[in-house]
Amino acid sequence: MKYYSTNNPQHIVSFQEAVLNGLAPDGGLYMPQTIPSLSPDFIASLPSFSKSEIAFTVARPFVDEAISDTDLMKIAEETVAFDFPLISLNPHVHILELFHGPTLAFKDVGARFTARILQHISQQHQKRITVLVATSGDTGSAVAHGFYETNGIDVVILYPKGKVSVMQEKQFATLGKNIHAIAVDGTFDDCQRMVKSAFQDNDLRQTMFLTSANSINIARLLPQSFYYFFAWAALPTKQEVVFSVPSGNFGNLTAGVFAKKMGLPIHGFIAATNSNDVVPQYLETKQFSPRPSVQTISNAMDVGNPSNFARLLELYQNSWDAMTKDITGYSFTDEETQHAMQQVYHTKNYLLDPHGAVAWLGLTRYLKDHPQAQGISFETAHPCKFTEVVEASLHIAPPPHPSLQALLDKPVQSISCPTNFQNLKKILQNLIAR
């Protein structure tokens, strides 16, 4: 499989080059030249396969021969070595829990896969790699733990100061060693812009081997398609299945479109956002108008210019009509999100985190007009990662989790940085000099 840049289809690289580069030199995102089709027999037999067998089969066509079947199976096994339970609240409404990994968030899947792929490449080529990533919340912790103490790899995480939850910050900014946290005096969009500037800076590219573990990196995005297959395998009935995906940078939903185009018979997707609603607005008006992000209680989705929208356009050949046949978009306020958390807790005895509440709202809105559909809503993070929001919304404390309790007394180790790229460049150059 070869990969091309969304900004230049003539720029072609291998899988390993796409993973190592993260972002194409022209600022585009890498896309596979073709979307492979999986066998109908494989799709029909999904319930008979293990999670690692499913992950291996889905990933194999995208990964070049430099990674053997044996190595890729080991990577797949380690990537999905935890549960993905499907909780049925009624015959038509299901929740897929994606928070049973080491950092209690769905991004553990992509981060663990990327870390193991990059470690494999680093060992093959004997190169020290610097992973540069922007986070609005859960990406930072998933990447930090995925790469912690990995030989040959440094991780630099940019996050908007004061705009991630206390627990999210503790998960990635207390580790030290090869994990370096940078608190940016701005928004997630500022962090993402600075990361992109670093990838396009010739001085940095010549002195350090930079790559990314955001969903701009194809190795982070592709494995997120695994759990669409896991959910399908667990569904009791499979008629008109729709997935409601809480969306910020749109990597998760884009991975779902990959799964559909590979042959999983998904009827459609719900792009559920908070007040950062540029994609739902596009789906309604045909106009894509990025703007500065606004802060919400579902902070991991506070993205005003989602990178993966470029990939969605490629998947639908820039056709608004084709995209809107598959994807329905809704946005919700903080007040609506809190109300959903209250409603689901009091009527279903189920505790949603604020991101899962946005997905739930999207699904319930959709099912009003499509009552025959089978709906799967993604619960992407454990509620205990958002204690402040849960307590303010429900007046109860979410049950503590041992892995988070252990972090409470650990000091945050982060470097403050203005939104000026030159400041980030100096920090990175000092890291090289150490």
Q: Where do the H-state alpha helices sit in 267-401?
A: 278-285, 309-315, 320-326, 334-348, 354-369, 387-394
How many whole angstroms separate alpha carbon 275 and alpha carbon 277?
5
- Res 150: pLDDT: 85
- 3 state SS of 409: coil
pLDDT tens series, the chain, 434 aa: 999 999 999 999 999 999 988 889 888 999 999 999 999 999 999 999 999 999 999 999 999 887 999 999 999 999 999 999 999 998 899 999 999 998 898 989 998 999 899 888 887 777 788 999 998 777 888 889 888 988 889 999 999 999 888 888 998 999 999 999 999 999 988 998 999 899 889 888 888 888 888 788 999 999 999 999 999 999 988 889 999 999 999 999 999 999 999 999 999 999 999 999 999 999 999 999 999 989 999 988 999 999 999 999 999 999 999 999 999 999 999 999 999 999 999 999 999 999 999 999 999 999 999 999 999 999 999 998 888 899 999 999 888 788 788 887 899 999 999 999 999 999 998 876 66
DSSP 289-318: --------SSGGG--SS-TTHHHHHHHTTT
Rounded (to 5) percent helix, strand, coil in the chain: 45, 20, 35
- Res 369: pLDDT: 94
User: What domains appear along the chain, each with residue ranges and CATH number?
Assistant: 84-106+220-394 (3.40.50.1100)
Catalytically active residues are 107
pLDDT in tens, 239-275: 899 999 999 999 999 999 999 999 999 999 999 999 9
Measured between its terminal Cα atoms, the distance across the chain in Å is 37
- Res 416: pLDDT: 95
- Res 434: pLDDT: 62
Per the CB < 8 A criterion, the answer to whether 263 and 41 are in contact is no
- Res 408: pLDDT: 79
Q: Is the pTM of this model over 0.95?
A: no
Q: What is the DSSP letter of 105?
A: B
How many whole angstroms separate alpha carbon 370 and alpha carbon 373?
6
Helix (H) or strand (E) segment spanning residue 59: helix 51-59
